[in-house]
Amino acid sequence: MSCVNVIEKDRNVIINPLKTCQPLGAMFAVTGINKGFPIVHGSQGCSAFVRYGFARHFREPSEIAVTALHEDAAVFGGRTNLVSGIENLALRFDPDVIGIITTCSSEIIGDDVYGFADTARGNLKEKLGEAADKIEIIPINTPSFVESHYKGYDNAINALVNHLARKDEPNEKVNIIPGIINPGDIRELKHMLASMDTDGIFLTDISDPFDAPLRPSKTKEIPYYPKGGTTIDELRDSANSLGTVSICKYAGSGATSLEREHKVPSAIETPPIGIQNTDQFVRNVSKFTGNSVSEELLDERGMLVDSMADNAARYLYGRKVAIYGDPDLTTGMARFVGELGMEPTMVCTGVKYPDFNPDMEKISKESGSDIDVLYGQDLRAVEVYLKENPVDLLIGNSDGRLIALDLDIPLIRMGFPVYDRVGYQRQSVLGYRGGLYLMDLITNTVLEKYYEPTHWKLQQ
Amino acid sequence: MSCVNVIEKDRNVIINPLKTCQPLGAMFAVTGINKGFPIVHGSQGCSAFVRYGFARHFREPSEIAVTALHEDAAVFGGRTNLVSGIENLALRFDPDVIGIITTCSSEIIGDDVYGFADTARGNLKEKLGEAADKIEIIPINTPSFVESHYKGYDNAINALVNHLARKDEPNEKVNIIPGIINPGDIRELKHMLASMDTDGIFLTDISDPFDAPLRPSKTKEIPYYPKGGTTIDELRDSANSLGTVSICKYAGSGATSLEREHKVPSAIETPPIGIQNTDQFVRNVSKFTGNSVSEELLDERGMLVDSMADNAARYLYGRKVAIYGDPDLTTGMARFVGELGMEPTMVCTGVKYPDFNPDMEKISKESGSDIDVLYGQDLRAVEVYLKENPVDLLIGNSDGRLIALDLDIPLIRMGFPVYDRVGYQRQSVLGYRGGLYLMDLITNTVLEKYYEPTHWKLQQ
Amino acid sequence: MPYKLLEVDKKIPQRKNHVYVKHCSDPDDEIPDCNTKTVPGSMSERGCAFAGVKGVITGAIKDVIHVVHSPIGCTSYGYGTKRYPTTPDMPNGEKFPIENFNLKYILGTDLQESDVVFGGMKKLKKSIIEAHKEFPEATAIYTYSTCTTGLIGDDLDAVAKEASEELGIQVVAFNAPGFCGPSQSKGHHVGNLTLFENLVGTKEPLETTPYDVNLIGEYNIDGDLWIIKEYLEEMGINLLSKFTGDCSHDEICWMHRAKLSLVRCQRSATYIADLIEEKYGVPYIKVDFFSTKYCAENLRTIGKYFGLEEEAEKVIESRMEKVAPEIEFYKSKLQGKRVFIFSGGPKSYHLSKPLEEELGMETVAVASQFEHKDGYEKMKSRVKEGTLIVDDPNSLEFEEIIQVYKPDLILAGVKEKYLAHKLGVPCLLIHSYENGPYMGFEGFVNLAKDMYRNIYSPVWNMLEFEEEPAVGENTEVQEDSSEKQENKPENTGELA
Amino acid sequence: MPYKLLEVDKKIPQRKNHVYVKHCSDPDDEIPDCNTKTVPGSMSERGCAFAGVKGVITGAIKDVIHVVHSPIGCTSYGYGTKRYPTTPDMPNGEKFPIENFNLKYILGTDLQESDVVFGGMKKLKKSIIEAHKEFPEATAIYTYSTCTTGLIGDDLDAVAKEASEELGIQVVAFNAPGFCGPSQSKGHHVGNLTLFENLVGTKEPLETTPYDVNLIGEYNIDGDLWIIKEYLEEMGINLLSKFTGDCSHDEICWMHRAKLSLVRCQRSATYIADLIEEKYGVPYIKVDFFSTKYCAENLRTIGKYFGLEEEAEKVIESRMEKVAPEIEFYKSKLQGKRVFIFSGGPKSYHLSKPLEEELGMETVAVASQFEHKDGYEKMKSRVKEGTLIVDDPNSLEFEEIIQVYKPDLILAGVKEKYLAHKLGVPCLLIHSYENGPYMGFEGFVNLAKDMYRNIYSPVWNMLEFEEEPAVGENTEVQEDSSEKQENKPENTGELA
């Protein structure tokens, strides 16, 4: 029987992490709101590093404010910084939503961000009158020393929903919690929903904010912000949807809250990567809406099946693949790798979630492949592992590029961040069409690396 | 001043051709008809080689009949073969259209395919009665020793239009003559038309026939044929459209015939590759329909512009590119290469069309790049040229792969055929989104080849 | 009723005699009609005679220029289509300066209308001279007649003779225009004859040994020949000449000096073995290296001929040790799987029995594009009762066979592969292979592995979307796939 | 009115003193307020002190382990972000066994809630010991305080001392938590002090020459240092120590033995030069190698110091011969183009004049994230009347500057690049470069080329779809682009 071997970290020190701290996830979530601005209550680095990271991955600007905590705040608290920061932001940027994102510093100092938010609201009311009411100021606790960016994302979505969702007339929509994915992924989800005559409310939607056209004639300036993102009305309306699908298994709190508070049924699943996971997503949407799957989607599915029938046995079967990254993408990818007849011999994630290993067990059984699970591990662990256990392909983010280079294993780029190649943020790995994209990428990488040396084999 | 240097073939012998003979183009055209079957009046090789070529490029079956001429036909003519071939095809495959495609053999023998077609029609009428009337049998003259596959394609489209188009009530559609392009390209054209609220009639449409889903439960068997393709009603209705856009400059006869016979105005252009050519396509559609360009398309354009602003100066500017292939794709690609700030220093096409060199002059001026035009040349000429004049990138079909390998120049695969990598037939090089695809492909190839050796440059 | 009119052939009843169901009470010579003209308008998978000579026979030779005398199509289509890798090693120990020269270039005369009207011989002559100038390293120049040049009556032999004298290297004309003969098989024949008449006996080998053989009809598809070569050389046998896999022009010239000819592909190349035996007295034996059993048997036969029995046993033993566990594994997986073999020529009889006996599969149908009587006799003798044997099946027949015989796997060509897929059946490329070589002991493992991969590719369990999956579909696991790789041996012998 | 309250700053009027328009009648010391805290809630481009020490100073050292004592974020963000390539060459002639070790790894303590509650010193100690075990080849271990560990009061120095004794290699603690100081500049300072106090004077070089220098404040961004090294070595000068581009830990230890220190980045590294001069009497000079003119001037100064004037001239001459025609070409193209330089630190004053004088551009605005008074004085002295000088501009100011000053090109960082693009203005990465190196003669050509490429990228002429293009738009050609590459020189000196 194929089996899963869980290998946990056996050292204290972390070397080349596969995770980052909570605030990033919250900044990502708030950026997905139309006229939504994160304000990070922390040091300048807390926003600068993340803006830098977003810029090099998405190749877009990102407007993230910071309260710029300094030594004095460590002593006297960050009240002035946060209150004035919110006001400055509100007065200069005309936001609809301000998400207050805490950090290690502000959490350790023990700042009462809820109280400070109230103060800021009061001040703004004085300065702006009625106009202040439309600005939602939402505190989001994201202590950096608890869990990871995933938790920060989950906390942010949950805070948004708890703060904003209001029961009203039922709508015919489905809420989607997308997780930390790319603009291209969200566009593919929208395409799938549209194909099933379904409107979605994305909690939240970074597709336009992180992939905006360059059209100076249409660009909003001073302040610049991109069109798109989930509107505040949609966020409010999320209480009235037919259901919530969280395609991020590890960020389902918002879905659970909506179910508990507003009786919106939820489905919390692995992202729709590959055939079976996408089938499951389609079924979930179908279940909530009663709409059946469209011929268009079935044809897209059929095209993926068609190409898998062509390529999987011929070029991919039995190849060993190592996958590292966020737990949802790696789970989805591992299953798809199995569907392609390859063996996901190593899967590494930097965090620990109880569902992860049972999912790996399932995939191991399905694919007939033994899986070494590097659980709560780091990229150094991946490197050390691969030196002893070579694989044919590596799938993960750009942070593994030097490892791939040194070990001479082709790296299929996926996840966040990808900064040493272009265009990945515009692609979807989700849905049937995302499966086609991934399979082409994988197959062509295999052809280049393993077939080109005996090039006549490509003669057909 | 930048200039164009036209280099013609200085030998009789052709070495690794960049063209093939007329029948292929006609088979391609007829395959794009719903329930349309080509019957090649020639030797078995005339269909077998083409089916083989289609199979390895499109990775799809293609049903192309042949009259299987043998020695006796050389002596007595191919009448029996063609008449019985048509009958066998009609009786077993329930076609709507049969395109009779001549070859070198049948043209040299001097077979009267028009007369034979009449005979076959008569015989079918006897056997099938009324049912025979719905089968259109259309002779297409495609002597292999005249011009190239392009001419065969042009002849076929023209024959279809001349045979089928019937003036009737005006429709609100635009005819598109797509040229010899990929299913992905046609899908992108459909997307652009839909975005401009416009229905198209494709003359013809190979998108579904050459990219069909694998869905056994929905598959038409015995005879198998894929859904899609242009219907015979659409072909008839092409006389009533608002206009015809041929995005293949070298296959505009059908457009000209529709203009002459049915007063359907025409625009015959370079394919919409890159920004300016796509703008021109959009303007042409807009001109015929009166519909203005959609925000969706303008956003797609803006995303292409956005990415070009990011990548072109930084990674691509000034790089020398050699392009070879069909005259329309190479012309479109050369212009786009210039738009990216690269230099199309060599462009080679295997055929000769009077418009080609003036187009190169224009691109040379626009891009500020001297262009060596290998005009009516072959792949050996490309190889010899490149040994003396190295470039950074090569763009063309898979037939150049061994040249690229030997010269250590990365090959960007484009055109027909591509058989040593997968998925290219599903991609579009057309439209703004096709531009994004091409730019990503080119940029990532440059990053891999020219930046990876100093990998810190990819650190951002 | 051994002959069967398929449903789809109702309108072309002449096909009945090409479709035969093996029955024990039939006389032995009751076999499908074959090597006759294809029914016009049916979607035969056959190619033409030109494809037979250039595509199959001469295209594998490493050091010659091919000048196709044709309108552009035949030249384009003749470009490096088969997987015929070559080494640069020449018989004199030197290296041919252009790697995979045979895959890399094809030349042609690109005939125009005026050439058709006024004749193309001058253009051909010029082209041959230019070809020599372009590739002076080539040992010889081969030129090919095609439909056009056949019909307009260009005399290629005359041009070849002239050019040869002028250039001082051999120029050989192959007169197999596309329309000649019912299939590519005619081209094989012309290729054999032409090479025999023009080359064999014209040169002497640099050295000879008592163990010199000609390996005939082995084209090194995906490296097949390299496997066999290794076995024979380990036994002490010298491949004096190959015909024509990884071979040089000169090797063919001294085929008359071998002690024995081994004929591998008996459809395409028995001709030349016969001619050499007849004229030079070199005997030949027909050999079969597909599958471990045939391979072992034939190595023994060869060993016996040369008194190298022990050496043969050594080769067999060492290889069997390596492959036996793998074959055992694949047999456990392929047991009972129904296979339909649709080869170009003889693979249908090479493989039918080994797949049954060594891998436990069931051969439910065999077919061939261009086999002749002798081939079908062998085919029939090697299949069991009730097996369908079809000559030159067309695509509708292909579909009907799938519907009726429900194969789990089809071995066929790229033209058929995607049609099979659309009907939900995996199809493995058997002409040029997927992850070959398929010959010899290791090759048979490769074949078994590729069949296994195709049948067990998970995609076949996911063909249709299920609105209501079986309870727990998304969590439960199919016994089949969970087990499938349990005892999977380590990959070995895989070249790709 | 030299200070200017931008429109966007109406609600944060305290920004007025940071925005200055150069006026000739101002007293010299009238410069923007600087090195003060950023306005909360404004979108400053500044980073934190931790970024200043690890990202700028220590991250360039080739042979040390970095252990960040922090919750996971700081460690993740500290991973190989800058383009600091290193060679494996060690001072003793050996090779460091891991290539680009400094880019490849970062280590951290991944602090959890319990560590925050109970203190993280034990975990740090364990981590340092594990780090040594993991990379025994590393020469030393550097560990970093961060906001969390600063606030909970972990004593890194104590842990470093203990660990150092236990491991027998140097462990150095850098106490620059993110919140300390108004910008990354504080981190530079801490880095300088810490390295000086812990390293300098603790080892002796293997050999010395009369021409030994310290190259200080040069981090080898995209290979800058390698260019300067070549010049100096050609002159006969020995780079005894680099601080810290492509340098080893030990080099820093013997900086006190140099005859002269050269201070390249005067913002981040004058501190250590001062300290070395003070304690060890090694004099220093401030150098500038950006642009041909500054580079030549400074090489002459260095040459003069060592009596190597002729050698300096040789270097200058040979390089100028190579680059002069290229610079001439780019000048003809860049003439009159308006540029806005927004550097991290001193590049705003390094580049403003050269772009004007050598390339004919017009510097319309300069800004810096973290410059101090001395830097702004230099900035002011080097720009012409009316130029805007901004300290720590935020993103709305950035937008307004673009609207008002209409630059043709911006030199800035990746966080600003895409905002500039959205507003239709090309933006070149000046912190880590695009196709660098940008220093020295060849580097200045690279910079000119990259500016040229950005400005002349055809995309800027196609920003908007035109419903009704000017007549013949699709056939006519813009004079500009048709000319642009007319005299374009051959590519040279391009590394990428």
CATH number at D420 reads: 3.40.50.1980
Q: Which one, of D149, D145, D156, D130, lies nearest residue D58 by Cα?
A: D145
List the single residue in B298, B310, B459 with the smallest CB-CB distance to A59. Answer: B310
Q: How would residue D82 be classed by pLDDT, with cut points 50, 70 and 90?
A: confident
Are there at least 3 beta-carbon pairs closer than 8 Å between C and D? no
Per-residue model confidence (pLDDT) at position D228: 98
Check whether the bond before B223 is cis (ω within 30° of 0).
yes
Do residue A1 and residue C486 have CB atoms under 8 angstroms apart? Answer: yes
- Does one domain contain both C446 and C368? yes
Last residue of a domain, one of D254, D289, D315: D315
pLDDT one-digit tens code per residue, A108-133: 999 999 999 999 999 999 999 999 99
Do residue D41 and residue A59 have CB atoms under 8 angstroms apart? Answer: no
Give the type of residue at C337. K
Q: Which one, of C120, C202, C115, C124, lies nearest residue C166 by Cα?
A: C124
Per-residue model confidence (pLDDT) at position C470: 60
Q: What percent of chain B has pLDDT over 90?
A: 98
Higher pLDDT, B405 or C23: B405
* pLDDT above 70: residue D184: yes
Per-residue model confidence (pLDDT) at position C468: 82
Q: What percent of chain A has pLDDT over 70?
A: 100
Per-residue model confidence (pLDDT) at position D26: 85
CA-nearest residue of chain A to B55? A460
Q: Reduce the DSSP state of residue C394 to 3 states and report it.
A: strand
* pLDDT above 70: residue A105: yes
- Does one domain contain both C243 and C291? yes
Q: Which one, of B28, C445, C436, lies nearest residue A458 by Cα?
A: C436
Q: D471 CB contacts (<8 Å, ≥6 apart)?
A: none
- The verdict on D480 touching B (C-beta cutoff 8 Å) is no
pLDDT one-digit tens code per residue, D238-285: 999 999 999 999 999 999 999 999 999 999 999 999 999 999 999 999
Is residue C195 situated within a structural domain? no
Q: What percent of chain A has pLDDT over 90?
A: 98
Q: How would residue C29 be classed by pLDDT, with cut points 50, 70 and 90?
A: confident
- Does one domain contain both C261 and C328? no
Per-residue model confidence (pLDDT) at position B1: 63
Residue range A22-147 in CATH 3.30.2020.30 = no
Average pLDDT for residues C343-367, to the nearest whole number? Answer: 96
Residues of chain D in contact with residue B366, where contact means CB-CB under 8 angstroms, are: 458, 477-478, 481-482
Q: What is the DSSP string of D35-90?
A: SSPPPTTS-B----HHIIIIIIIGGG-SSEEEEE-SSHHHHHHTSS-S-----SB-
- Does one domain contain both C296 and C343? no
List the single residue in A44, A53, A86 with the smallest CB-CB distance to D41. Answer: A86
Per-residue model confidence (pLDDT) at position A74: 84
Could you tell me how far CA A46 lies from the centroid of its own chain? 19
Per-residue model confidence (pLDDT) at position C284: 98
Q: How would residue D468 be classed by pLDDT, with cut points 50, 70 and 90?
A: confident
Neighbours of chain C (3+ CB pairs under 8 A): A, B
Do residue C481 and residue A367 have CB atoms under 8 angstroms apart? Answer: yes
Are there at least 3 beta-carbon pairs closer than 8 Å between A and B? yes
Per-residue model confidence (pLDDT) at position A1: 63
Give the tokens for residue B328.
């329309």
Q: How would residue D86 be classed by pLDDT, with cut points 50, 70 and 90?
A: very high
Parts of chain B with a pLDDT under 50: none
* pLDDT above 60: residue D312: yes
- The verdict on C435 touching B (C-beta cutoff 8 Å) is no
- Does one domain contain both D109 and D159? yes
Is residue D231 situated within a structural domain? yes
CA distance D366 to chain B (A): 23
- Does one domain contain both D330 and D455? yes
| CATH of the domain spanning B174-212+226-293 | 3.40.50.1980
- The verdict on C416 touching B (C-beta cutoff 8 Å) is yes
Is residue D495 situated within a structural domain? no
**Cα separation of A442 and A427, whole Å?**
14
* pLDDT above 50: residue A232: yes
Per-residue model confidence (pLDDT) at position D483: 41
Per-residue model confidence (pLDDT) at position B74: 84
Answer positive or negative: Cα dihedral of B261, B263, B264, B267.
Answer: positive
List the single residue in B279, B286, B454 with the smallest CB-CB distance to D496. Answer: B454
**Cα separation of C292 and B125, whole Å?**
57
Q: Reduce the DSSP state of residue C263 to 3 states and report it.
A: strand
pLDDT one-digit tens code per residue, B188-216: 999 999 999 999 999 999 999 999 999 99
Q: Which C residues in the span 370-399 are in contact with B, Cβ-Cβ below 8 Å?
A: 395-396, 399
Residue ranges covered by each domain of chain B: 4-16+296-451, 22-147, 174-212+226-293
- Does one domain contain both C306 and C334? no
**Cα separation of C107 and C129, whole Å?**
12
Q: Tell me what the pLDDT averaged over chain D comes to.
A: 93
- Does one domain contain both C23 and C69? no
DSSP letter at B197 equals T
CA-nearest residue of chain D to B368? D482
Give the tokens for residue D161.
């001392």
pLDDT one-digit tens code per residue, D327-339: 999 999 999 999 9
List the single residue in B51, B74, B86 with the smallest CB-CB distance to C179. Answer: B74
pLDDT one-digit tens code per residue, D137-166: 999 999 999 999 999 999 999 999 999 999
Q: How would residue D482 be classed by pLDDT, with cut points 50, 70 and 90?
A: very low
Residues of chain C in contact with residue B222, where contact means CB-CB under 8 angstroms, are: 7-8, 396, 399-400, 403
Do residue C453 and residue A286 have CB atoms under 8 angstroms apart? Answer: no
Buried b or exposed e, range A205-237, using 16+ CB within 10 angstroms: bbbbbbbbbbbeeebebbbbbbebbbbbebbbb
Cα A184 to Cα A327, A334, A433, B28, D130: the distances in Å are 19, 20, 11, 33, 41
Boundaries of domain holding D296: 212-315
Q: Which one, of B292, B270, B296, lies nearest residue B282 by Cα?
A: B292
Residue linked to tokens 């004077």: D201
* pLDDT above 70: residue C477: no
- Does one domain contain both D133 and D74? yes
User: Is the Cβ–Cβ distance between D106 and D138 less than 8 Å?
Assistant: no
Q: Reduce the DSSP state of residue C267 to 3 states and report it.
A: coil
Q: How would residue D490 be classed by pLDDT, with cut points 50, 70 and 90?
A: very low
Per-residue model confidence (pLDDT) at position C1: 61
pLDDT one-digit tens code per residue, D23-62: 888 888 899 999 999 999 999 999 999 999 999 999 999 9
- Does one domain contain both D53 and D38? no
Question: Into how many domains does chain C fold?
Answer: 3
Neighbours of chain D (3+ CB pairs under 8 A): A, B
CA distance C79 to chain A (A): 10
Do residue A212 and residue B305 have CB atoms under 8 angstroms apart? Answer: no
Length of chain B: 460
Q: Which C residues in the span 19-48 are in contact with B, Cβ-Cβ below 8 Å?
A: 37-48
**Cα separation of B200 and B241, whole Å?**
9
Per-residue model confidence (pLDDT) at position D1: 61
- Does one domain contain both C327 and C457? yes
pTM of the model: 0.96
* pLDDT above 70: residue D5: yes
The third-level CATH classification (topology) of the domain covering B4-16+296-451 is Rossmann fold (3.40.50)
Is residue C87 situated within a structural domain? yes
**Cα separation of D235 and D318, whole Å?**
12
